[in-house]
C-alpha cells in the first residue's frame, strides 16, 4: 500500500532534530541551561521536586518490556494531565507494542543522553500507522529532565527544531559534568530557583538543556541497567564526529518495545523506588535525597 505523501515527508525525528539534541546536549548544555535560568524563564524558587519521592500505591505506572530488559516508570498525571491522557490511551490501544528505539543519544566521546523509543519505524520516519498527534507543552515546576525522566518534545518551529509527533518518548540519561556545573553555578547569581535546579542535576544527573523544550511526564524507578544498556547501544554513526550533519544515531541492532502496559506502583514495587545518586548538592538549597 502506498503511504500518504504527507506522512512520507514527516520525519518524527529528522536529522535537524538529532543534531540539535546531540550537539546542544553535549557541547553547550550548561550555557543554555544557565542562560535560561538567568533570564525570564519559569521561576523554580518555590518548586517542590517530586521525582525523588516514592509514589503512592495507586499511582499509575507504565511498564516497558524491551528486547534489552524491562523498564518501569511512574506517570505524573497531575503535572502533565493532557499528555498523560494521550499517552495512556496509546498504551491501552497497544500502540507501543512492537515499536522501535529509533535514536540513541550518544556522543562521540561516549556521553549518554538517553534514547528515543516508541517509533513505528526503525529510523524514526513516520509510517502509515504512526500517530502524529501534537500536544501543547506542559511545564511543571515540580518536574525536571533528570536521569530517568520520560519526556515528549512538543516545541514547534525555530531554527534548530521542527514539530514532532507526541507519540515518541525520550528516555533521559545523563550528560552532567559536576565540575562544569559547579563552575557555571558559582559564576552566576542565584535567581529563579537556580540553586535548587542545579542541585537536582548535581545529585541525580540528567540533560539540563531539555528544560522548557519537553513535557516531562514520567520517571523511571526500576530498570536502570536496561536504560543504560540501550543508551550505550552501538549506533550506525559510531566513530563519526558529532559535527557531521549526516551522522546516523539509529542503533545497529534492532531494539524493540515488545510489550508496553499500564499498572500501578503497588503492583510494580517489588524492587522498591530508586533513583541512583550521581553526586552531591552544589548550592545546598534543594539537593533532595531519598
What pLDDT sits at residue 290? 47
Return the C-alpha cell found at 210. 531539555
pLDDT digits (tens, 9 = 90+) for 170-226: 999 999 989 989 988 888 888 888 999 999 999 999 998 787 778 999 999 999 999
In a domain, residue 106? The reply is yes
The alpha-helical segments, DSSP class H, found in 27-80 are 29-38
- The fraction of the chain above a pLDDT of 90, given in percent, is 56
In a domain, residue 65? The reply is yes
Angstrom CA distances, 290 to 54, 108, 204, 272, stand at 9, 33, 11, 12
In a domain, residue 60? The reply is yes
Return the C-alpha cell found at 265. 506502583
In a domain, residue 90? The reply is yes
Q: Which of 267, 258, 272, 265 is nearest to 117 (CA)?
A: 258
What distance lies between CA 247 and its chain's CA centroid?
A: 21
Cβ–Cβ under 8 Å, residues 15 and 102: no
Q: Which of 268, 212, 220 is nearest to 52 (CA)?
A: 220
CATH code, domain with 65: 2.40.100.10
**Number of domains present in the structure of the chain:** 1
CA angle 30, 28, 281 (to 5 degrees): 20
* Dihedral, CA of residue 88, residue 209, residue 154 and residue 168, to nearest 10: -50
In a domain, residue 286? The reply is no
> Which regions of the chain are under pLDDT 50?
1-25, 27, 157-165, 287, 289-290
What pLDDT sits at residue 166? 79
In a domain, residue 141? The reply is yes
Return the C-alpha cell found at 90. 496509546
In a domain, residue 238? The reply is yes
Domain of residue 169, residue span: 5-266
The reported pTM is 0.87
Helix (H), strand (E) at residue 8: helix 5-9
Return the C-alpha cell found at 168. 515518541
In a domain, residue 289? The reply is no
The C-alpha atoms of residue 270 and residue 279 are separated, in whole angstroms, by 26
Can you tell me which residue has the cell 548544555?
A: 29
Amino acid at each position: 500500500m502506498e503511504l500518504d505523501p504527507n506522512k512520507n515527508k514527516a520525519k518524527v525525528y529528522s536529522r535537524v532534530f538529532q543534531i540539535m539534541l546531540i550537539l546542544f546536549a553535549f557541547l553547550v548544555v550548561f550555557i543554555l541551561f544557565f542562560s535560561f535560568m538567568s533570564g525570564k524563564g519559569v521561576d523554580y524558587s518555590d518548586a517542590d521536586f517530586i521525582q525523588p519521592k516514592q509514589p503512592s500505591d495507586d499511582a499509575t505506572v507504565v511498564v516497558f518490556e524491551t528486547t534489552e530488559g524491562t523498564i518501569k516508570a511512574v506517570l505524573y498525571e497531575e503535572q502533565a494531565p493532557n499528555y498523560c491522557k494521550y499517552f495512556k490511551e496509546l498504551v491501552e490501544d497497544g500502540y507501543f507494542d512492537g515499536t522501535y528505539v529509533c535514536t540513541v543519544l550518544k556522543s562521540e566521546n561516549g556521553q549518554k543522553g538517553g534514547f528515543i523509543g516508541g517509533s513505528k519505524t526503525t529510523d524514526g520516519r513516520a509510517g502509515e500507522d504512526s500517530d502524529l498527534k501534537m500536544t501543547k507543552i506542559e511545564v511543571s515546576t515540580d518536574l525536571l529532565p533528570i536521569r530517568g525522566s520520560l519526556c515528549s518534545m512538543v516545541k514547534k518551529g525555530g531554527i534548530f527544531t521542527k514539530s514532532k509527533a507526541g507519540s515518541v518518548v525520550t528516555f533521559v540519561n545523563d550528560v552532567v559534568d559536576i565540575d562544569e556545573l559547579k563552575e557555571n553555578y558559582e559564576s552566576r547569581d542565584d535567581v529563579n530557583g537556580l540553586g535548587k535546579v542545579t542541585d537536582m542535576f548535581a545529585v541525580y544527573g540528567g540533560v539540563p538543556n531539555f528544560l522548557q523544550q519537553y513535557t516531562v511526564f514520567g520517571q523511571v524507578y526500576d530498570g536502570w541497567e536496561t536504560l543504560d544498556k540501550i543508551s550505550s547501544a552501538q549506533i550506525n554513526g559510531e566513530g563519526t564526529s558529532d559535527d557531521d550533519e549526516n551522522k546516523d544515531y539509529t542503533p545497529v541492532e534492532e531494539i524493540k518495545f515488545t510489550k508496553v502496559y499500564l499498572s500501578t506502583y503497588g503492583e510494580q514495587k517489588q524492587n522498591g523506588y530508586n533513583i541512583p545518586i550521581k553526586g552531591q548538592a552544589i548550592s545546598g538549597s534543594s539537593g533532595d535525597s531519598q
